[in-house]
Amino acid sequence: MSAPSADSARAALEALRGEISKAVVGQDAAVTGLVVALLCRGHVLLEGVPGVAKTLLVRALAATLELDTKRVQFTPDLMPSDVTGSLIYDNRTAEFSFQPGPVFTNLLLADEINRTPPKTQASLLEAMEERQVSVEGTARKLPNPFLVAATQNPVEYEGTYPLPEAQLDRFLLKLQIPLPSRDEEVSVLTRHAEGFDPRDLAAAGVRRVAGPAELDAARAAVAKTSISPEVAGYVVDICRATRESPSLSLGASPRGATALLSTARAWAWLTGRDYVTPDDVKALALPTLRHRLRLRPEAEMEGVTADSVITSILAHVPVPR
């Protein structure tokens, strides 16, 4: 079979968004963010209060893709080997053999990632950055594609371990999952009254519409999306402004700048253009940069947020024409 064209790949990803909506009401921005992450080979951190369908969103994404998926419920007693795998002694051969952990998959759902201690959180660092896992000095490649979709609750602090900056920086996007509007919540209740079962997505009509071939074609097309020197400079100016903000003790690193350029590029292609505009950069600035910034304590006490700092910067950094 011939490889899908860029247009058919884009159509498949648009259909993917439609299939997810059969299970998840609203959350269009989060769905778009997950698609952008797939195109950029990046990872996503989903943050929202309990009960806003964070896990369901990732499960619905998995149901629309012809990809292997696994879920890990992160708990305080989870060990690094429970994620990466370990060497197991085989009595029959009298040798040690490697038993792969759940990280050896295409789409890993890391549920409530901040409930596990730092040593287990750190077990994902190499996997997320290098796409490999090292056990007993031997590096083992992870499948391609590989994406971590992690969830965390912003309101529970007892028994949680905040992610360190080094790990947060590994996530391409941080997507905030808001509470639904009244109309959306009524729609959720109506679906449940009509028999919708979130544990049975097939019964809800969610079908597979894209696979590795479509993702490869889409990524190749995104790589050809042009970026002018002026737009690249605009991205740099935004990130440098975060490092100079009096409200922040830590601004966006060069990795943050390359991430913003990548996500803006993917968004430009998804909207049907083969070039990036400043508006594309603005559209992805919040989810790409918010988790890479650290507020000063005095600014936090005054009610300043990372989002408000980024919004202010976007309003003041000159836009190229």
Residue 240 sits in a domain of what CATH number? 1.10.8.80
Average pLDDT over residues 128-148: 87
* pLDDT at residue 150 is higher than 60: yes
* pLDDT at residue 287 is higher than 90: yes
Determine the pLDDT at residue 2: 65
Q: Where are the beta strands (DSSP E) in the chain?
A: 44-47, 69-73, 85-90, 95-100, 107-111, 132-135, 138-141, 147-152, 173-176, 248-250, 294-295
Cβ(77)–Cβ(86) below 8 Å = no
Determine the pLDDT at residue 108: 92
What total of structural domains would you count in the chain?
Answer: 2
| Residues 263 and 284 reside in one and the same domain | yes
The alpha-helical segments, DSSP class H, found in 26-178 are 28-40, 54-64, 80-84, 118-121, 125-130, 165-168
Taking only the tens place, the pLDDT of each residue in 92-114 is: 877 788 888 899 998 999 988 88
Q: Which two tokens stand for residue 25?
A: 């009401």
Q: Which two tokens stand for residue 155?
A: 């309101």
Average pLDDT over residues 13-28: 85
Q: How confident is the model at residue 297 (pLDDT cuts 50, 70, 90)?
A: very high
Separation between Cα atoms, residue 111 and residue 37, nearest integer Å? 18
In a domain, 277, yes or no: yes
Determine the pLDDT at residue 158: 64
Q: Which has the higher per-residue pLDDT, 45 or 204? A: 45
Separation between Cα atoms, residue 67 and residue 62, nearest integer Å? 7
Separation between Cα atoms, residue 48 and residue 33, nearest integer Å? 15
Taking only the tens place, the pLDDT of each residue in 220-249 is: 999 999 999 999 999 999 999 999 999 999
* pLDDT at residue 176 is higher than 80: yes
Average pLDDT over residues 184-188: 90
| Residues 156 and 281 reside in one and the same domain | no
| Residues 200 and 294 reside in one and the same domain | no
In a domain, 48, yes or no: yes
| Residues 162 and 201 reside in one and the same domain | yes
Taking only the tens place, the pLDDT of each residue in 156-167 is: 666 678 888 888
Q: How confident is the model at residue 293 (pLDDT cuts 50, 70, 90)?
A: very high
Q: What is the mean pLDDT of the chain?
A: 89
In a domain, 46, yes or no: yes
In a domain, 1, yes or no: no
Determine the pLDDT at residue 157: 61
| Residues 11 and 111 reside in one and the same domain | yes
89, β-bridge pairs: 96
Q: Is 321 exposed, middle or buried (0-12, 13-18, 19+ CB in 10 A)?
A: exposed
* pLDDT at residue 1 is higher than 80: no
Percent of all residues in the chain with a pLDDT value above 90, rounded to a whole number: 43
In a domain, 15, yes or no: yes
66: nearest Cα among 12, 141, 132 = 12
In a domain, 321, yes or no: no
53: helix, coil or strand?
coil
Determine the pLDDT at residue 155: 63
| Residues 30 and 148 reside in one and the same domain | yes
| Residues 22 and 97 reside in one and the same domain | yes
Q: Residue 170 belongs to what domain range?
A: 6-217
294, β-bridge pairs: 250
